[in-house]
Amino acid sequence: MTSDAASDAGPRIRTVPEGDDRERLTCPDCGFIAYENPKIVVGSVVHHDGRILLGRRAIDPRRGFWTLPAGYLELGETPVEGARREAEEEARATIEIEGLLAVYAIRRISQVQLIHRARLLDPDRVAAGPESLEVGLFGWRDIPWTEIAFPSVVWALEAFRAVGTGPLGPPAGNPPDAEDGLAPAGV
């Protein structure tokens, strides 16, 4: 088989497979269907003594803006394990997950975000990881609101403010004026 023939192998034709309702990338030789599914993001609103842990992003998108410790869920890990790992990677933070705070659907980038509420276990150990320029614990009034990286970070902070450290009810979702995952005006 030549290298040109090898490049023709595998899923390469967009078609609607039998029994499906949308186009998928398929292989005409073996029938394999390459399903494209949303990415799952896991993270947490980490609190300690009335303050929230935020990190200034050292990577794109939105380098230099503040965010919660969060990132893509890896294969073979649970959402809770992923949220713990992200806090460790981005802020060197050891956290205790208290429960699911919010679930957001960001249609334009095909993401589902699972945001937990977590308690910071050792505030003296917090430091910037490789994906953060700096990290800090912020009181509500000190949060750099005009420098928040993504609308869903604002939504998660508001969801946390609504329940605080009290009992968690059903997780928050997209604001009514942002059902498609786009930011409402002014965010």
The band of 187, judged by pLDDT with boundaries at 50, 70 and 90, is: very low
Q: Residues 66-105, buried b or exposed e (16+ Cβ, 10 A)? A: bbbbbbebeeeeebbebbbbbbebbbbbbbebbebbbebb
The band of 1, judged by pLDDT with boundaries at 50, 70 and 90, is: very low
Q: Is there a single domain that holds both residue 86 and residue 69?
A: yes
Residue 179 lies in a domain: no
Q: Is there a single domain that holds both residue 83 and residue 11?
A: no
Per the model's pLDDT, the better-predicted residue between 6 and 143 turns out to be 143
- The angle at the Cα of 52, spanning 130 to 121, to the nearest 5 degrees, equals 75
Mean pLDDT of the chain: 92
Residue 172 lies in a domain: no
Give the per-residue SS3 of 130-182.
CCEEEEEEECHHHCCHHHECCHHHHHHHHHHHHHCCCCCCCCECCCHHHCCCC
Q: Residue 135: beta bridge partners?
A: 55
User: What are the pLDDT digits (tens) for 124-177?
Assistant: 999 999 999 999 999 999 999 999 999 999 999 999 999 999 999 999 999 998
Query: Which residues lie below 8 Å from residue 74, measured CB to CB, with a gap of 6+?
Result: 82, 85
pLDDT score at 2: 44
Phi/psi at 161 (nearest 5 deg)?
Answer: -60, -35
Per the model's pLDDT, the better-predicted residue between 115 and 8 turns out to be 115
**The pLDDT of residue 57 is above 80:** yes
Say what the pTM is.
Answer: 0.86
* Residue-number span of the structural domain to which 93 is assigned: 39-166
Q: Is there a single domain that holds both residue 24 and residue 97?
A: no
Q: Specify the DSSP element, H or E, that contains 71.
A: strand 70-72
- Counting Cα atoms < 13 Å in the Cβ hemisphere of 113 gives 25
Q: Is there a single domain that holds both residue 49 and residue 22?
A: no
pLDDT score at 7: 57
**The pLDDT of residue 186 is above 60:** no
* CATH number of the structural domain spanning residue 150: 3.90.79.10
Q: Is there a single domain that holds both residue 51 and residue 113?
A: yes
pLDDT score at 96: 98
Per the model's pLDDT, the better-predicted residue between 176 and 41 turns out to be 41
